[in-house]
Amino acid sequence: MLAELEGDTAAARAGFEHVLSASDAPPPLAARAALHLAQMETRAGKNPRHALDLVARATTLAPGDAAVAEGVAQVEADVVAASGAGDIRGPKLGTPLPGVDAKVADAFSAADQALVRVHAIRPRQRLDVWAKEDATEDVAAKYRAIAEHGGLARIAATYRIGSLYHDLALGLLFELPPGLAPSVAGELRRTLRTRALAYLKKAATSYEECLAAPKLPEAELWQLAAETDLRSARDVLGAEER
């Protein structure tokens, strides 16, 4: 750890690997070594899959360790964020869907482009809020049609549906049209908050559907993104319930 703090990456890596490979290392200590190595991988940005392998090992070594669990969640979030494009949630646009029929892949690409257009809508007046809700539902319907094909297409599409509702919910919470009178803004905020929480629940349901699908090697990034964003959505919903 001292070598890591001093910026000696090579020495730090060697030290953590030594601890991780030592047969007599206490499991909690080995778990922290695995976690530090995973964090180094994500900072380097070279091998996210290896970082995920390391956090899985850390979790196995110390399943009840809250500090390890917190570190694992952060590494997973960092991997998901690095896979995205700009402020689009989850895997970046154009992420390949290996094994998916070409027509279905083309439909997914078209839905992704429609998602970008919805994401770019910024309410300038009250009617724009409802227009964004309608546009979100239209794109979600496109992804639902894709999800009917099953397999990776279903996993990726249900994740995107969740992300649509997730971003819509946050937009309703924080993107009021400018220039509203205080009384109007207050009334609208209360109305939109109720709707936002309903959409956040729909997002959580879609993420859960994504995670309930069979595990496929090519779907790992999509399901990791669903797990990360589901955790975030539940945090907000839990805070509201309290």
Q: Yes or no: say if 233 and 203 are a contact pair by the CB < 8 Å rule.
A: yes
Residue-wise burial string across 199-210, b where 16 or more C-beta atoms lie within 10 A, e elsewhere: bbebbbbbbebb
> By C-alpha distance, which of 1, 69, 89, 66 is closest to 37?
1
Helix (H, G, I), strand (E, B) or coil at 235: helix
> By C-alpha distance, which of 153, 174, 166 is closest to 228?
166
Task: Give the pLDDT confidence score for residue 242 in this predicted structure.
Answer: 43
Type of residue numbered 156: A
Residue 88 DSSP label: B
- Neighbour tally for 162: CB within 10 Å: 30
Distance of CA 183 to the CA centre of its chain: 36
- Residue at token pair 């090697």: 217
pLDDT tens-digit map of 198-232: 999 999 999 999 999 999 999 999 999 999 889 87
Q: State the distance between the two ends of the chain, measured CA to CA, in whole angstroms.
A: 38
Task: Give the pLDDT confidence score for residue 175 in this predicted structure.
Answer: 59
- Quote the crossing angle between the two packed helices 102-119 and 151-174, to the nearest 10°: 10
> How much is the pTM?
0.67
> By C-alpha distance, which of 181, 26, 155, 166 is closest to 87?
166
Task: Give the pLDDT confidence score for residue 126 in this predicted structure.
Answer: 62
Task: Give the pLDDT confidence score for residue 48 in this predicted structure.
Answer: 64
> By C-alpha distance, which of 133, 75, 103, 100 is closest to 218?
100
What is the rounded distance in angstroms from the CA atom of residue 142 to the CA atom of residue 35?
Answer: 39
Within the chain, which residues score under 70 in pLDDT? 46-49, 52-53, 56, 80-87, 123-127, 174-189, 239-242
Task: Give the pLDDT confidence score for residue 105 in this predicted structure.
Answer: 97
> By C-alpha distance, which of 20, 111, 5 is closest to 58?
20
